[in-house]
Amino acid sequence: MAHYRRWLIALLVVLVGIAGAAVFWALDGHLTAEALEARVASLGVWAPVGFVLLYGVATVAMVPGSIFDLAGGALFGPYLGTLVNLAGGGIGAALAFFVARYVARDWVQHRAGPRTKGIMQSVDADGWKFVAFVRIVPIFPYNFMNYLLGLTNIPFHQYFLATIVFMAPATVVYTYIGHASRQAIAGNTDNLRYALLALAALAVLLVLPRVYKKLRGA
């Protein structure tokens, strides 16, 4: 069993290395939405599929999802962009969850440190509701949380459904900002006020963790 586990960990290292190389290629060495847009646009009719796959791989490699959400909005518009962003982020979340649960549990626990116990207790107490909260209110980074939740006892279907549903608000906001930014560059400023409203909504999401902590400490 230990020998089998070592092979799985070695395979994981190789896959993560490939993922990192793929993301580096896609971003042309620059961690920006503009570099990603240029590379994905070159795929032609396969751009949405390539974007989703690349987003999923990048999530496993811990690349910030906001870069992809902005690029998705700029490339595909607010509607298709939201769908491809949710698909890519969801695939990446599922892959990272399975890695932590079945392949590299010890490694993830070591990297997480004492936070693991608190997360496990919260999930045992609240189940999918805890997943919903940490998705809609980013207390911990999205990518890191995928691995941490893989260490818990939550069923995969609850984790995945709560992830998709409750990461949707932030995904919509980032996607629309990416779309509005592309429109503004092209000279169409009609969507800027909606982009500002989206930024305000994002700011509220970012402030909520502090409010939550204060309420719990009261």
Query: Under a CB-based contact definition with an 8 Å cutoff, are residues 72 and 175 in contact?
Result: yes
Q: Where are the alpha helices (DSSP H) in the chain?
A: 2-26, 33-41, 47-60, 65-98, 105-112, 115-126, 128-136, 142-150, 156-185, 192-217
The answer to which of 21-25, 52-56, 99-103, 159-163 has the lowest mean pLDDT is: 21-25
The residue that leads in pLDDT, 45 or 164, is 164
* pLDDT at residue 211 greater than cutoff 60: no
Length of the chain: 218
The label of the residue with tokens 């989206």 reads 198
- Percent of all residues in the chain with a pLDDT value above 70, rounded to a whole number: 61
Mean pLDDT of the chain: 76
Q: Which amino acid is at 208?
A: L
**Assessment of whether the complete model's pTM goes beyond 0.95:** no
The residue that leads in pLDDT, 121 or 208, is 121
Q: What is the dihedral of CA 122, 127, 133, 134, to 10 degrees?
A: 60
- Percent of all residues in the chain with a pLDDT value above 90, rounded to a whole number: 14
Query: Under a CB-based contact definition with an 8 Å cutoff, are residues 176 and 201 in contact?
Result: no
C-alpha of 188 from chain center: 29
* pLDDT at residue 152 greater than cutoff 70: yes
Q: How would DSSP label each residue in 19-72?
A: HHHHHHHHTTT--SHHHHHHHHHTTGGGHHHHHHHHHHHHHHTT--HHHHHHHH
- pLDDT, one tens digit per residue, over 124-150 is 888 888 888 888 876 677 888 898 898
State the average pLDDT over residues 168-196. Answer: 74
pLDDT at 65: 83
Query: Under a CB-based contact definition with an 8 Å cutoff, are residues 181 and 72 in contact?
Result: no
CA distances from 44 to 51, 66, 157, 191 (A): 11, 23, 34, 26
